[in-house]
Structure formats: C-alpha cells, structure tokens
Amino acid sequence: MDYMKFILLISFLYAVIHILFSSLNRKNTKSPKLPPGPPCYPLIGNILQLDTSNLPQSLSKLSQKYGPIMTVKVGTIKTVVISSPTLAKETLHKNGPALNTRFTPDSVKALSHEEASVLYMAVSPKWNAFRKVCGTKIFSSQNLHSSQSLRREKLKELILHLKENCREGKGVDIADATFTTVLNSMSNTFFSVDFARYCSVSSKKFRDVISSVLVETSKPNIADYGSIFSRFDPQGARRRMRSYYQVLLADFESIIEERLQKKDPIEGSDVLDSLLEYTRKEKSELTCNDLLHLFLDLFIAGLDSTSSTVEWALAGLLQNPEKLKKTMKELQQVLSKDGELTDSDINKLPYLQAVVKETLRLHPPGPLLAYKSVAEVEICGFRLPKDATVLVNVWGMGHDSSIWTDPNLFLPERFLEGEDNLREDIGFNPFGAGRRICPGVPFAHRVVHTMLATLLYHFDWKLADGQKSEAMDMTEKFMVTLSKGKPLMAIPVKE
Ligand code: HEM
C-alpha cells in the first residue's frame, strides 16, 4: 500500500469513528447552535472551498456570505472564524481565559518545544514568567534605550552595503537586506554579537531556516487531526522541524556556553547577562534550557515579521510615488544633515508612522490569530464548542469596506486623523490583542521606523529591471506570516 493510500485509509477510519461518536453523543444532548457556515462534505469538511495558499483572503470572502462569525470545517476540525472588531474584542478580552490558548500545530512540538514556548504554551505560571522577562529584561524602554547605539551601527552598515549597490547600479533584494539588518539588530540587542554579513552564507542560512519553520507551521498536516496520527508524524513535519530548530538552538547554545565560561562576567551588561542572572536566582521559574527556547521563539516570531514590514512599506511607497515624495520630504525637514537617527526621532515623523500603520493594515505579518477554545463559550448567542480552533481574521478586518474607505488603496493619510488610531475596536490589531498581544512591539516599532527612515533619507529608489510602479506585483504569500510573493528588487540611485 503506498503512502497516500495509507494516509487516506487512516483518515477514513478516523472520520468514521469520529462521526459515530458524535452522533451517539448528539442523541443525549441538545445540538449546539454553532455560528453559520458553508455546507461541508464529510471527512474533508470545507477544504475544497478554502485556498490554503491564501487562507486569510479566502476566509474573508466566505465571511462576506456567512457573516462576521462563521464556522468552517478543516477536515473534521471545527474552526470558528471571527471577522469583526466587536466580535474580536469579545473573543480576545471578554472570553480571554477560555480562548487565549494558542492553536499548536503538531510540527512545532519537535524537541518538546511547546513545553517551553512563550508562543505556544498555554497561559500558566511559566508563560507568565516568560512574558515578565520579555517586558522587564528584554523589551523594556530602559533596555532598548541602552542598546540603541548597537542598532544604529547596524543601520550604518546597511547604508554602506547599499552604497556599494548604488555605485554599481545593482538592484537590491530588499527582503534580503532588511532581513540581515533585523537579524543583526536582534542578535546585538540580545547577545551583543553579529550573526551575519550582507549576502553571506550565514545570512542565507538564517533566512532559509526561518522560512522553512514558517512554511512547515502553515502546511496542512494530517498529524494535527488527532493523537493517533500525531504519534506517527506521517508527513515527517515534526522531523523536519526538529532539524530547523537544531540549527538555531546550536547557535544560541554556543553563545550561552561561551558566556557561562567567562571568568569575569560583567553582570547585567546585555540582555543575555541579565537573563542568565535571572535563571541563577533561587526561586527562578526559568532555566538555561528555557532561555534557549525563548530565543528560538523570539527569532522565529520577530525576524520575518519585522523585516517583511519594511519591505512591504517600501514597496507600497514605490508603487505610490506621491506618498514616497511626501515621506522623503518629512524626513529631510526633520532629520539633521547627517541623517543620524535616534529612536526618539520617530515621534517627530507622523507621516512615516502613518506609512507603517497603513502597511500593517494592508499586509499584517500575523494575518490570522489562531487559538483553541479550552472550554465551551458563548459569543453573540453562538456557542463555540470546546477544542474548536478559533481564527481572528486580522487581514479580513483590515480590508473590510464597512470599516475602511477604499480599503485596497495605500492611503497613509487615513492614519493622520484621530488621536488614537491603534485601537482594536476600529479593526486594526496587527500586533494582536488581549493577554497574548505581541511582546516584541517596542523593538519592532523602533527597528521598522528607523530602518525605513534610513532607506529613504540616504537614497532615492528606482525599481530594478525597468519595472513600472503601476505594474508592480503586490501578490501576498501566506505561510503563517504574509510575505511578498515576488521579492521587491530596487536600485538605490543616489545619496
Ligand atoms: C512588525 C513586527 C511584528 C508584528 C506585526 C507582530 C505581530 C504579532 C502578532 C499578531 C502576534 C499574535 C498576538 C495574539 O495572538 O494576540 C504576535 C505574537 C508574538 N510576537 Fe510579534 N510581531 C512583530 C514583531 C515581533 C518581534 C520583533 C518579536 C520579538 C523579537 C515578536 C515576538 C512575539 C512573540 C514571542 C509572540 C507570542 C506571544 C504570546 O503568545 O504570548 N514579535 N506578534
């Protein structure tokens, strides 16, 4: 029996057992009133109606027909999709305790990562400890302030790299350049070391590994359909994930090992020192092994999201030359002649900030927030069963024409009006909401704005290969995050 037939047979048996048990249960209980949704086939559910390569858009289309709270079935798993700001608020805040457990794909369980993962573990004392160190020892204003000169060095290196391309009139793969800059900004903020040089083998290694982790996390995997399949890892996803994790963990391990060997550690001098000091405390909830898994999560969650935001922002501006001019003009007016930029200068750049917000509205790096209900809850008169997957469609809300005028246009100006437009109740929550809101916001805010400002202050840009701005390909590629389908290639033309 070949592999596919084996998988189909197992799926079939599982579905038969599942259907049998649910119909037996139904005899004794009142059928729960699930949110409405498209009719589905037994066994495969609504899979044929869903485009998994662009799930947020595909769910958004279905929601237009079935409403802002809808049920779809992915195989046999009930999935409730939320696409309105009010319902999202009710889901993430009011029903927090029942819904703030993240849906954990089987693949991420490699090396038991889910047991020490701030991204995936349930809200618990250990998760609280992870969040506490994120808030106080990694992303506090004081910490980020003291490491800003290191990140400024990284921006100077980015300028030097772009100057070379400028001299040669060569197109730059923007995603590649922004990725290396974020990678080194992060490694310097945490460990005071560089991880890679531009266009180097090590930069490619990190990009490949992070992208493989994201692809593996988003791929449909039969092991997510029940513990019987999970035990066998039939598609090998967990096995592959283990090898990606090992590459990253080996690097963190050697850095931690080296730091521990130091005879005379200068305690508290960078994030790693202060975290190691924390693990040595008598009643510390975290061990050195936990730190390894924390760094794994921070690099996985923070690298692609931050660098792709800068790529999308530059792409949006190159596609809209008027907006590009306006952003550059603001930078010329506000920054000093040398273009040296401190984190506090961001506050003086309202148009640049609006450009970033508009980018996050159109292309949120976390387009679907995925949770699992740990208890049955009621939302707007509908019952969300226990163990359902709950998806909050951030992308859908960002493109909803009942919330935004001309939702598909790049109009940063819409964010200049109103005093506080990062409010969730207007359907804008690119960093999530509730207890699981992104802890990396202060880092991402600084790095995205200063990098974009650096690109635009020091260079003019033109699209590579004679591309016209009107003809730019802005297709999105969904793999947990939302990348640019066709990488942006642009030439830095003059200083
Ligand atoms: C533009 C950049 C970024 C965006 C748009 C973004 C967005 C998000 C979103 C939507 C979530 C899920 C929140 C929820 O479920 O409610 C999240 C979680 C998370 N993010 Fe970010 N993020 C960014 C950058 C970063 C950075 C730079 C880091 C760290 C270096 C980071 C670390 C994390 C972690 C650890 C979580 C999981 C938190 C938890 O489950 O408790 N992110 N982020």
pLDDT digits (tens, 9 = 90+) for 302-312: 999 999 999 99
Give 424-433 pLDDT, tens digit per residue: 566 788 999 8
Q: What token pair was written down for 414?
A: 């819409």
Looking from the CA of residue 131, the nearest atom of ligand 1 is 41
User: Is 385 buried (19+), middle (13-18) or exposed (0-12) by CB count in 10 A?
Assistant: middle
pLDDT at 27: 44
Q: For 45, which DSSP code?
A: B
Q: What distance in Å separates the CA atoms of residue 27 and residue 21, rounded to the nearest whole number?
A: 10
List all residues 6 or more positions away from 115 whose beta carbon is below 8 Å from its beta carbon: 121
Share of the chain residues as helix, strand and coil, in percent rounded to the nearest 5: 60, 10, 30
- CA-based torsion, 57, 60, 65, 69: positive or negative: positive
Pocket-testing residue among 100, 359, 438, 483, ligand 1, by greatest number of atoms within 8 A of Cβ = 438
Q: How far is CA 453 from CA 330, 426, 478, in A?
A: 10, 27, 27
121 CB within 6 A, ligand 1: no
**Residue at token pair 């809300």:** 397
- H or E, element range at 69: strand 69-74
Residue type (1 letter), 422: L
Distance 293 CA to ligand 1 centre (A): 15
Q: Are strands 481-484 and 476-479 parallel, antiparallel or unpaired?
A: antiparallel
Provide the 10 A C-beta neighbour count for residue 163. Answer: 14
CB-based contact 405:388 (threshold 8 Å): no
Q: What distance in Å separates the CA atoms of residue 197 and residue 79, rounded to the nearest whole number?
A: 43
Q: What distance in Å separates the CA atoms of residue 62 and residue 40, rounded to the nearest whole number?
A: 13
Give 169-217 pLDDT, tens digit per residue: 999 999 999 999 999 999 999 999 999 999 999 999 999 999 999 999 9
Whole-number percent of the chain with pLDDT over 90: 74
Residue type (1 letter), 176: D
Minimal CA–CA distance to 313: which of 170, 471, 447? 447
431 CB within 6 A, ligand 1: yes
305 CB within 6 A, ligand 1: yes
Residues in the chain with pLDDT values less than 50: 1, 3-4, 6-7, 19-29, 419-420
Q: Are strands 382-384 and 476-479 parallel, antiparallel or unpaired?
A: unpaired
**Residue at token pair 């305690």:** 267
Largest CA distance in the chain: 76
Q: What token pair was written down for 185?
A: 């900004």
Specify which residues 102 forms β-bridges with: 371
Q: What token pair was written down for 374?
A: 């740990």
Q: How far is CA 231 from the centre of its chain?
A: 28
Minimal CA–CA distance to 59: which of 284, 392, 339, 293? 392
Task: Give me Rg for the CA atoms of the chain.
Answer: 23
Distance 305 CA to ligand 1 centre (A): 8
Distance 194 CA to ligand 1 centre (A): 22
491 CB within 6 A, ligand 1: no
pLDDT at 265: 57
Give the three-state DSSP class for 371: strand
Mean of pLDDT over the chain: 90
256 CB within 6 A, ligand 1: no
Task: State the Cα torsion 397-319-460-198 to the nearest 10°.
Answer: 60
Provide the 10 A C-beta neighbour count for residue 324. Answer: 19
